[in-house]
Chains A and B, each alone.
Chain A
Amino acid sequence: MAYNILVVDDSLSMRAIIKKVIAMSGFDVGEIAEAGNGLEALAKLEDFWADVVLSDIHMPEMDGIELLKKIKSDPLMASMPVVMITTESRDEVVSGALAMGAAGYIKKPFRPEDIKALLVEILGGEDDAVGEDQSESDDCDF
C-alpha cells in the first residue's frame, strides 16, 4: 500500500532533498505534498490526507512544534503521525515534541535506509527485506 506523505520545511532545497531521499529509500510512497511552514501545512491538510507528516522544527510563521500541537488537538487529525525532522542541536525540543505526541524524530542528514526504517516502523505494513526486493525490482522492469 502506498502512503501519502506531507513534507514541511521552509527550505525549498531541503524539501527537494527529503523527497529525493524518500524516493531512493524504496519505501512505497503514494503522493508527496509539500508545505513551507506550519500554517501552509495546515492549509494543505484541509484537502490532502497525509499518512504521515514529516516536519522541520524551525520555520517562520508557524514552527513544527506548533504544527504538531495543532494536529494533535484536532480530533480529525489527531491520529496522523507526525515525525519531527531535527538537527542535533536542541535535544530538549525533541523530547518535548515526543511528549506532545510526535510519532518519532529523525536527525538531518539521514540516509534512505534510516527514513525507510522509521516509516516502516510508524506505518508498518511491509516487511523490510521483502519490501526492498519488491520496490527495487519494480523500478528496474522498464
Chain B
Amino acid sequence: MSQETIVQLLNDLAADVVMLEPGDLSSLGPLLKTVEELEKPDVSAGFEFLLPRAEQFRDAIVTIIFEEFKEPEKSIELLSTSISKMQEALRNGADSCDSVVSVAVEKPEESVAAVDVEPESGDAEHSSDLDEELFIGVDFSQDHDLYQGFIAESNEHLDTIEENILNLEQDPENLEILNSIFRPFHTVKGVSGFMNLSQMNVIAHHLENLLDDARNQKFYLDGDATDLILDGVDFLKKMLGQLNLALDGGELERMSVKPFIKRVDALHQVLLGGDAATPDAENESPAPKIGEILVEEGVISSDDLEGALAEQRVAAAAEPEKAPKKIGKILVDQKKTNVKTVARAIRQQKQRKDVAGAGSGVSSIKVDMEKLDNLVDMVGELVIVQAMIHQDPDIAGLVTRKVTENMAQLSRITSSLQKVAMSMRMVPIKQTFGKMVRLVRDLAKKTEKKIDLVMSGEETEIDRNMVDLIYDPMVHMIRNSADHGLETPEDRRASGKDETGTITLKAYHGGGNVIIEIVDDGRGLNLEKIREKAIEKGLLSENDQPTDQELCNMILAPGFSTADKVTDVSGRGVGMDVVKKAIERLRGVIEIDTNTGQGSIVTIKVPLTLAIIDGMVVIVGHERYIVPTLNVVESLRPLKEQYHTVQGQGELIKVRDRLLPLVRLHQVFHSEAQTTNPWEALVVVVEHEGEQFCLLVDELVGKQEIVIKSLGERLKDLPGIAGGAIMGDGRVGLILDVAGLFT
C-alpha cells in the first residue's frame, strides 16, 4: 500500500484527535477504527516500524475508554503527541528505525496504563532490573483509588511484620509467624509489579526470596536477618510515603535500592551456606517431619525413610553449596510415594504447627474510615434532632400516653444507635503498642542498654481517630524513659538491680477515659536538679515548697531539660512541652510521678473519643456554655464573706481555705449577665494543670453528653473556646477551653 494511504490515515487520526473533547467517549470509536485500519497488514506493509506506535496508540485509547486516565486533557495531549511522533517517523522513513524504537520505549513512561505495554517485550518477562530509572510516572496513572488502596493495605501489612518479627525471635521455627512475615512482601511484590513500581518490586522480591527459603527451613532467621527485614520494612514504608506524596501531586523521588539489595543477597548467601553444612538440623527440630508423618500414616516404612534420609545426606555432602534436597522430593523420586501424598503430609505438618492459630471465629469487613466518620456524625445529628423533638413545646402540648411511650422508645433506640456507632470506631490499642515493641528494641540498641518491654491491656479500645494522635506523645515518653530513665547495665548492677531494665506499658479504661501508663524501673527523676533548674528558669522561687509531683510535672514546661548531654535519642529540651500540648489538644492530661532510684510513671489520660464530650452546661445571660466535665471540680454559691478583692490580683473567692481567682464569663465574652454579684450567682470551680479558678455563671443546667462540632477554619483558634455544640433546642452552645480562659 502506498505511503499516501498511510499519510492520509495519520492525518485523519490527527484531525480526529484535535477535534476530540474531553469526556467524549463516542468519538473514540472511529479513532479506534482508523488505527485498526492502519494496522492491517496490507496497509502497513513496508511501514512495519509504525506498528508498535500504532499499537500503543490503540492501547491508550482503550485505556481512556476504561477511564484509566482521569485527566482527559492530558490523555488527549498524549494521543496527539503519539500521532505527531508517528508522522515524524514516517517522514524520516524506515531508516529511522532506531528513533522509532526509542520513541516506543519512552512511551510507557509518559503514558501509563497501570500495566506495562512495552511493545518489544512480547513475552511476560518482567525485568527486575536494578537500574535507577524504575518508577513509571505516577502522575499519569490516574487510578488513585487503586494506588491508595495499595498504600493503605501495604502499610497495614508492613506494620504486622514489625510485631511478628519479634515473636519470631522467640520462636524462630514457627511457620505461621514466618508466613505472616512472608505474605506482606509477597503482596507488595505482586502489586508493585503490576503498578510499575519497580524499585519496590525489587526490594520486596529479594526479601520474599529470603523469607521463602526460611519458610522452607533451609535456615533460620537470626538477629542480623531480622534487622535487615526491619530495614526493608522501613525502606518500603518510605517509598509508600513518597508514592502517597506523588499522588497528591508531589515529585516522586528516586531512591537507590542497590546497596540494600546487595545486603539482602549477601546475607542470604551466608545463611544458605551456614546451614547447608548441617543438613541434619532439620531432623533435630521438634516439629514433626514430613518423613515421620508419612511413616505414621503407613505410606512408607521407616526403612524407606532411613534410605531417603541417607540419600539426602549424601547429596548434601556431595554438593554442600546447594540447599538440601527435600525429603518429600527424594521419596517421590524413589517412587515410594506420590506428590499428592507428600503435599497432604506437608499440610498436615503445617496444621500441627498452627494449632495455636486456629479458632478465631470473629469475621469482619473493612469499611472506609470516612464512611464511618460520616455515620458517627449523622448519628450525632440524629441524637440532637431527637432531643429537639423531645423538647419541642408543641409536641409537649399534645402528649398522650402513646406519644410519651413512643418518644421514650425513640430516645432509647437513638442512644443505643449512638453507642453502637461510636463503638464501631473503637479499635484496640494493641496496634499502637505493637509499634512500641519495635521502638524499644531500636532504642535498646542505640543506647546500649538492656530493655524489656512489658505490656498489658492491649485490648483496651480507643477511638480510631485518637490512635494516631497519641502515637507521637507515647513515642516521646518511651524515648525519655529509655534514654534518661533507665540506667546502663553497669550502673544497674552497681545499684543492685537486674541488668535488664523494664518499661511497662499499661492501658485501661477509667471514668470515660483511656489511661495509658508508661512505667520504667530506672533511676527516676532527679528532683533536686529539677528544683534547681526551675529556680534558674524562674518557675519557682527559693522559698517555694512544691510537692514532689508538682516538681515532676515541671519538666513538662517549655524548654525544660535536665539532661547533662544531648543524645541522639532525646534530651534537646524541646518536646516535653510539645507532648503536653499534644495531649491537651486531645482534651487529655499527662502527669509524671517518680520514686527516686525506683523509676518513674508517666500517666496519659485521654477521652475515649474526640467526637463526644461530657460537659456541664451553664447559662450566662442568654447564652449557654459547656464546661468540660474533666475540668470541673465543684460548683457553689459563695457567701458574701468568701468574696475578696485583692490589690493587683483582682477578684478572689475563698473556697475551702484557698483563695481562687474569679473569672467573669460575661466579661470574657462581652455578654450580659443576669446578675453580677457572685453571692447571688454561682461559681464553677475548674482546674487546669493543677491550678484552680472560679468561673462566674448565672445558672447550672446540668451534665450531658455533647457532640462536638468544629467552628470551622476561621474560628478554630479563638481563645477560651474549644468548639461548638448544637443544643437540644437547636441553638448553639459554645464549649469552653478552660486553659484558654485562664491565660
Name A residues whose Cβ lies closer than 8 Å to a Cβ of B: 10-14, 16-17, 20-21, 23-24, 26, 56, 58-60, 65-66, 69, 87, 89-90, 92, 96, 99-100, 106-112, 114, 133, 136-137, 139-142
Taken together as a complex, chains A and B put the C-alpha atoms of A110 and B329 apart, in Å, by 30
Taken together as a complex, chains A and B put the C-alpha atoms of A13 and B66 apart, in Å, by 18
Tell me whether A96 and B191 are in contact (CB under 8 A).
no
Tell me whether A60 and B183 are in contact (CB under 8 A).
yes
The answer, yes or no, to whether B343 is at the interface (CB within 8 Å) is: yes
Taken together as a complex, chains A and B put the C-alpha atoms of A99 and B340 apart, in Å, by 9
Minimum C-beta distance from A4 to chain B (A): 20
Tell me whether A142 and B183 are in contact (CB under 8 A).
no
Interface segment out of the listed B25-33, B503-511, B594-602, B689-697: B25-33
Q: Mark B25-68, 1 if CB is under 8 A from A, else 0.
A: 11011001100100000000000000000000000001101100
Taken together as a complex, chains A and B put the C-alpha atoms of A100 and B340 apart, in Å, by 7
Question: Which residue of A is nearest B58, CB measured?
Answer: A136
The answer, yes or no, to whether B194 is at the interface (CB within 8 Å) is: yes
Which residues of chain B in 131-178 are interfacial with respect to chain A, using CB atoms and an 8 Å cutoff? 143, 145-146, 149-150, 153-154
Chain A contacts for B113, CB-based, 8 A:
24
The answer, yes or no, to whether B356 is at the interface (CB within 8 Å) is: no
The 5 closest A-B pairs by CB, nearest first: A140-B29, A109-B193, A13-B150, A11-B187, A109-B194
Interface segment out of the listed B114-122, B260-268, B404-412, B609-617: B114-122
Chain A contacts for B29, CB-based, 8 A:
137, 140-141
Tell me whether B179 and A100 are in contact (CB under 8 A).
no
Chain B at the A interface: SS class: helix
Chain A contacts for B145, CB-based, 8 A:
16
Q: Kindly list 6 other residue pairs between chains A and B, CB separation below 8 angstroms, not including A11-B187, A89-B212, A140-B25.
A: A11-B190, A20-B66, A26-B62, A58-B183, A89-B209, A112-B115
Tell me whether A87 and B62 are in contact (CB under 8 A).
no
18 contacts between A and B (CB under 8 A): A10-B187, A11-B187, A13-B154, A14-B190, A14-B194, A16-B146, A21-B194, A24-B66, A24-B115, A87-B186, A87-B189, A89-B205, A96-B343, A100-B339, A111-B116, A112-B115, A141-B26, A142-B26
Tell me whether A111 and B187 are in contact (CB under 8 A).
no
Taken together as a complex, chains A and B put the C-alpha atoms of A6 and B36 apart, in Å, by 32
Tell me whether B63 and A24 are in contact (CB under 8 A).
yes
Tell me whether B186 and A13 are in contact (CB under 8 A).
no
Taken together as a complex, chains A and B put the C-alpha atoms of A100 and B150 apart, in Å, by 32
- Chain A CB within 10 Å — which of B114, B116, B187 has the most? B187
Q: Do A11 and B153 form a contact, CB below 8 Å, given A99-B339, A140-B65?
A: yes
Tell me whether B186 and A58 are in contact (CB under 8 A).
yes
Minimum C-beta distance from B555 to chain A (A): 45
Contact of B194 among A56, A108, A139, A142 (CB under 8 A): A108
Question: Which residue of A is nearest B124, CB measured?
Answer: A114
Taken together as a complex, chains A and B put the C-alpha atoms of A105 and B28 apart, in Å, by 34
The answer, yes or no, to whether B549 is at the interface (CB within 8 Å) is: no
The answer, yes or no, to whether B180 is at the interface (CB within 8 Å) is: yes
The answer, yes or no, to whether B366 is at the interface (CB within 8 Å) is: yes
The answer, yes or no, to whether B352 is at the interface (CB within 8 Å) is: no
The answer, yes or no, to whether B208 is at the interface (CB within 8 Å) is: yes
Minimum C-beta distance from A11 to chain B (A): 4
Chain A contacts for B209, CB-based, 8 A:
89
The answer, yes or no, to whether B195 is at the interface (CB within 8 Å) is: yes
Contact of B182 among A58, A133, A142 (CB under 8 A): A58
Minimum C-beta distance from A28 to chain B (A): 15
Question: Which residue of A is nearest B189, CB measured?
Answer: A87
Chain B contacts for A59, CB-based, 8 A:
183
Taken together as a complex, chains A and B put the C-alpha atoms of A90 and B213 apart, in Å, by 10
Q: Do A11 and B32 form a contact, CB below 8 Å, given A16-B149, A100-B339, A142-B26?
A: no
Q: Do A107 and B124 form a contact, CB below 8 Å, given A16-B149, A137-B29, A140-B32?
A: yes
